[in-house]
Structure 1
Amino acid sequence: MRLPARLVPLSAVAAASALLTGCFSGAASDGSAEGGEKRIRVAMMLPPRSGLSPLSDDAFKLSRWSTAETLVRLDADGDAEPALATKWQQRGRTWTFEIRDGVTFHDGTKLTAEAVVRSLTAAATAAPKPRILDGVDLTVRAEGDSVAVTTATEDPLVPQRLSSPQLSILAAKAYAGKTVSPVGAGTGPFELTKVNGTASASLDRYDDYWGGKAKSPGVDVKFVPDGTARAAALRSGEADIVEAVPVSQAALLHEDQITEVPMPRTNTLYLNTEDGPFKDASLRAAAREAIDAKPIVKGVYEGRADVAEGLLGPALPWAADLRSPVRRAKAGAPDGQTITIGTFTDRAELPEVAQTLQQRLQKAGFKVKLDVREYANIESDALAGEFDAFILSRATVLDSGDPAAYLFSDFGSKGSFNISQLSDGTVDAALEKATETKTGDARRKAVIEAEAAVLATDAAVPMLHERVIQGDAAGVVDVAHDPRERELITTDTYVK
Structure 2
Amino acid sequence: MPSTVRRLLAVGALLGLVAGCGGNAASTGTPVPDGELRIAAQFAPRSGYAMDTDDAFVVANLGSSETLVKAGSDGTAQPSLATSWTQDGARWTFTLRPGVTFHDGTPLTPAAVVDSLTWVAGVSAPPRAIRGIGLTAAESGPDAVTVTTAKPDPILPLRLSSVNTAILAPSAYTGGPPNVVGTGTGPMRIVSAQGTQEAVVERNDAYWGPRPQLARATVQFVTDPAARALALRAGDVQIAQGLPESSLLEFTEGNGYTNQSVAAPRTVSLMLNESRAPFDDIRVRQAVAKAIDRTALAEQALAGSALPASELFGPAVAWGSQDPPPAPDVQGAKDLLAAAGNPQISVTLATYPNRPELPTLATAVQGMLREIGVDARIQIGEYGPQEPGLLAGDYDMFLLSRNYLTDVPDAGSTLVSDYSCAGSYNINRYCSPEFDALLAPLGTTSDPAERQRIFTAAAAKLDADAVGLPLVHSQENAVGRDVAGYTIDPLAKQLLTTEVTRTE
What TM-score does the superposition give when structure 2 sets the normalisation length? Answer: 0.87
1:409 aligns to 2:417 (yes or no): yes
Once the two structures are TM-superposed, the CA of residue 274 in structure 1 deviates from its matched residue by 1.5
1:342 aligns to 2:335 (yes or no): no
SS at match of 2:98: coil
> 2:501 maps to what in 1?
494
Deviations 1:338-363 (A, max 9, x none): 22222112222212211222222222
Once the two structures are TM-superposed, the CA of residue 435 in structure 1 deviates from its matched residue by 4.1
Distance of aligned partners of 1:323 and 1:235 in 2 relative to their CA distance in 1, 3 Å threshold: closer
> 2:483 maps to what in 1?
476
How many residues were matched structurally? 459
Once the two structures are TM-superposed, the CA of residue 418 in structure 1 deviates from its matched residue by 0.9
Alpha-carbon distance in structure 2 between the residues aligned to 1:324 and 1:301: 16
1:281 aligns to 2:282 (yes or no): yes
Alpha-carbon distance in structure 1 between the residues aligned to 2:440 and 2:138: 26
Deviations 1:110-140 (A, max 9, x none): 1111111111111111121111123322111
Any gaps of 5 or more consecutive residues in structure 2?
Answer: 1-31, 327-332
Any gaps of 5 or more consecutive residues in structure 1?
Answer: 1-34
- 1:97-496 correspondence to structure 2 within 5 Å: 97-144=94-141, 145-255=143-253, 256-320=257-321, 331-333=336-338, 334-473=342-481, 475-496=482-503
Alpha-carbon distance in structure 1 between the residues aligned to 2:69 and 2:447: 16
SS at match of 1:279: coil
Deviations 1:401-437 (A, max 9, x none): 1111111111111221111011111111122223432
Once the two structures are TM-superposed, the CA of residue 324 in structure 1 deviates from its matched residue by 12
Alpha-carbon distance in structure 2 between the residues aligned to 1:163 and 1:226: 30
Alpha-carbon distance in structure 1 between the residues aligned to 2:439 and 2:131: 12
Once the two structures are TM-superposed, the CA of residue 468 in structure 1 deviates from its matched residue by 0.6
SS at match of 1:418: coil
Once the two structures are TM-superposed, the CA of residue 234 in structure 1 deviates from its matched residue by 1.9
Distance of aligned partners of 1:151 and 1:321 in 2 relative to their CA distance in 1, 3 Å threshold: farther
Give 2:76's aligned amino acid: D
| Cα root mean square deviation, aligned | 2.1
Whether contact under 8 Å (2:309, 2:325) holds in the other structure is no
Alpha-carbon distance in structure 1 between the residues aligned to 2:314 and 2:121: 30
80, 84, 87: which one pairs with 1:87?
84
SS at match of 1:131: coil
Alpha-carbon distance in structure 2 between the residues aligned to 1:359 and 1:123: 44
- 1:2-151 correspondence to structure 2 within 5 Å: 37-144=34-141, 145-151=143-149
Once the two structures are TM-superposed, the CA of residue 177 in structure 1 deviates from its matched residue by 4.2
Give 2:282's aligned amino acid: A
Alpha-carbon distance in structure 2 between the residues aligned to 1:324 and 1:197: 42
Whether contact under 8 Å (2:393, 2:427) holds in the other structure is yes
Alpha-carbon distance in structure 2 between the residues aligned to 1:113 and 1:487: 25
Deviations 1:69-122 (A, max 9, x none): 000011111111100001001111111111111111111111111111111111
Deviations 1:347-393 (A, max 9, x none): 22212211222222222122322222111221111111111221101
SS at match of 1:422: coil
Larger RCO: Structure 1 or Structure 2 (Cα < 8 Å, ≥ 6 residues apart)?
A: 2
Alpha-carbon distance in structure 2 between the residues aligned to 1:247 and 1:172: 44
Moved more, 290-299 or 456-465: 290-299
Distance of aligned partners of 1:465 and 1:483 in 2 relative to their CA distance in 1, 3 Å threshold: same
What TM-score does the superposition give when structure 1 sets the normalisation length? Answer: 0.89
Alpha-carbon distance in structure 2 between the residues aligned to 1:251 and 1:439: 44
Distance of aligned partners of 1:237 and 1:435 in 2 relative to their CA distance in 1, 3 Å threshold: farther
Give 1:160's aligned amino acid: L
